[in-house]
Amino acid sequence: MKNKKINGSRILLECLYRLGIREMFGYPGGSVIPIYDEIYKFGKLKHYFSRHEQGAAHEADGYARASGRIGVCIATSGPGATNTVTGIMTAHMDSVPLLAITGQVSSNLLGKDAFQESDIVGITLPITKNSYLVTDIRDLPRVIKEAYYIATTGRPGPVLVDIPKDIQLDEIDYEEFEILYSKELDLPGYDPTIKGHPWQIKKAVQLIKEAKKPLIIAGAGVLKSMCTEDLREFARKADIPVTTTLLGLGVMPSDDELFLGMLGMHGTVTANFATAEADLVIAAGIRFDDRIAGQPNKFCEQAKIIHVDIDPAEIGKNKKVEVPIVGDLKNVLESFNKSIDKLEHRDWVEQLNLWKKEYPLTYENGKDGRLMPQDVMVGLDKILDGNAIVTTDVGQHQMWVAQYIRFNNPNSLITSGGAGTMGFGIPSAIGAQIAKPHVKVVAIVGDGGFQMTFQELMMLRHYDLPLKVVIINNSYLGMVRQWQEMFNDGRYSFVDLSINPDFGKIAEAYDLEYAKIESKEELDKKLRGLIESDKATIIECRVEKEVNVLPMIPSGSSVANMVGKRGVLEDA
C-alpha cells in the first residue's frame, strides 16, 4: 500500500462501505462523473439508477423507513441537486435518516455563477440536520463519518454533503486516508440526551399509577427508537389504551383490544373521543402537530400530559405538558416497565370498546355496483392481512389506507406525514422493495400523485421488482376537491382530472402488467390474483368521483366539531 494514491471519489465510496452502506440511489451528471467512474470500478456497492433526482431521494427515504438503516442518494450539481430538495424536506419532516451526496462545480468556480452551480448547502440548511461543503480532500473521511453519525443518532434526519468536482479527483496517499479515517469523531455541541431524567420518570410513573383514564398516543418516535415491543408491553401491563398518529400505525396490532386506531383530522371517533375524556396522556414520540392537535388549547383538555421525545425542541412547542422527559423512548419505556406492576383500567377500556361498536368506520355501497374507494382498501386489507408494506402518496387515498388497512408490524406503512408530498408513493415503494426483497410491497397512489413521479416505473423493469401500484382514479385532486366542497361552497377550482392520460398505455410503455377495475364485482374477482402475482403490475381502480373522507375534524377545530361521526356521507 506504500505510496498508493486514493482520490476523493474512492474515499467517499470506501467510507460508505466501511459504515455498512451497501445500496444507494442516484442519477449521474457532469459534476459527479468522477464518483460514478469509481462506482463503476469499486464493485462493493449496489447503485440503483433512478430516473429523476427527486425519485432518488424518495427511494432512499423508503429504503430507510423499511429497513431501519440510512438511505443514500446521489445527484449532480445545480438542477440535479435542487431536484432532491423535495425529497430531503420530506425526510426532514418525518425524521428519516438520509445521506444526500451532491456534486458541485470545481472549487475555483464557486461563487462565480458557473454552469450548473447552485448553493445547495445554503438551500438545504433549514431542512437538514447538517450540511457540508467539502473544500479539502483531507476533510472528506471526517465529513462522511460525521454525516452518517448525525443522520442516524438522536432524532434521525437528513444530512447533505456537497463535494466539488476537483475534490472528487484530488488524491492523497492511501496511508494518509487510513489515518484520517481512524480518527475519533469530535462533535462539540452535538450530544443527544439518551437517558430520561430519573426524577421526571419517577413523576411520570406516579401519575400513571394514579390515572383513571390514561391514554397512550404513539407516534413515529416509537418506530425510530425500535421500541415497539417495549410500548406493547407497557400498554398491556398498565392496561392503557393506545392510539397512534398516521406515522405511528403499526405500533400496536390492529386487532388488539387496547388499540383505538389513528387519531386526528381523519382518525376514528373512538380515538378522538378518548383524547377528550382522558385524564392522563402519555405522548410517546409525537409532535402534537396540527393534524392531530387541531386547537392545541382544546386538545386533551382534561388530561395531564407526559411527553417523551429525544428532541427537546418538540417538548412544549405546540402543547404545554406537565412532565417533559427528554431521552430515547426505548430507555424511558424500559424504565416505565421496570417501575410499574400490573394495573387495571377496565371501566375505561370497556367504555372505549362501546364507542368502537357505536361509531365504527362505515361507508355507503356504490350505486349500481359502482366501485367505492373504500371497497378497494377493504379488499386489499383482506389480501394483505396486515403483513405487507404499503406506501402511499398524499390525499384522500392516504387517509382511506390509514382507516381501512390493518398494519400489525412496525415500519409497514410508509407515507409522507409532515411534508404531505405528492409523488412519494411509487419511489418510496421502490426503495422499500429493494430494502425488503422478500416482502410484498404495494404502492397506493392517487391519479394526481401518480403523474408526478411515474418515470420511476422504469426501475421496476430495470431491476425486476415485483411491486404492485394501485391507482385510485377518481379523476380529481380528491382531497383538495373535498375541502373546496366543504369550505369553499363547492367551487371546484382546477381540481378536475377528467382528462387523465390512458394509464394502460403508460403501463404498456414501461412494459408492465396492467389491469383496470371499475366495479365491486370486478374487484372481488380480480384483485387477489393481481396482488398475489409475482409480476410488477399497475392496477387502475376507477372509483366514484365525489366521495369524502369521513369522519373529519376541520382544520384548527376540536373533537366537538367532528363531521360525520359514523363515517357515512349523509353525516357530512
Q: What amino acid positions are annotated as catalytic residues?
A: 53, 115-116, 165, 479
| Torsion region of 226: left, alpha or beta (phi above 0 gives left; psi -120 to 50 gives alpha) | left
Q: Which secondary structure element, helix H or strand E, spans residue 505, and what is its range?
A: helix 503-509
| DSSP E strand stretches across 299-452 | 304-309, 323-326, 389-392, 413-414, 441-446
**C-alpha distances out from residue 428 to 269, 352, 514, Å:** 30, 35, 20
Q: Is the dihedral of CA 324, 327, 330, 336 positive or negative?
A: negative
Report residue 134 as a C-alpha cell: 467539502
Report which of 129, 127, 111 is spatially closest to residue 119, judged by C-alpha positions: 111
Q: What angle do CA 341, 258, 212 make, to 5 degrees?
A: 55
The answer to whether 274 and 356 are in contact (CB under 8 A) is no
The answer to whether 68 and 445 are in contact (CB under 8 A) is no
Q: Which secondary structure element, helix H or strand E, spans residue 259, and what is its range?
A: strand 259-262
Report residue 470 as a C-alpha cell: 394501485
Give the span between the Cα atoms of 368 and 361, in whole angstroms: 22
Q: Report H helices in 128-287.
A: 140-152, 165-169, 174-182, 198-210, 220-224, 228-238, 269-277
Buried-exposed string 95-114: b where 16+ CB fall within 10 A, e elsewhere: bbbbbbbbbbbbeeeeeeeb
Neighbouring-strand partners of residue 243: 217
Report residue 451 as a C-alpha cell: 403523474
Give the span between the Cα atoms of 349 and 260, in whole angstroms: 10
The answer to whether 328 and 225 are in contact (CB under 8 A) is yes
Give the span between the Cα atoms of 99 and 39, in whole angstroms: 17
The answer to whether 430 and 63 are in contact (CB under 8 A) is no
Give the DSSP letter of residue 251. Answer: S
Residues near 248 by Cβ (< 8 Å), separated by ≥ 6? 217, 218, 219, 220, 222, 223, 262, 285, 286
Q: How far apart are the first and last CA of the chain?
A: 73
DSSP states of 314-328: GTTTSS--SEEEES-
Give the span between the Cα atoms of 503 and 470, in whole angstroms: 11
DSSP states of 151-164: HHSSS--EEEEEEE
Give the span between the Cα atoms of 548 and 224, in whole angstroms: 32
Give the span between the Cα atoms of 458 and 454, in whole angstroms: 8
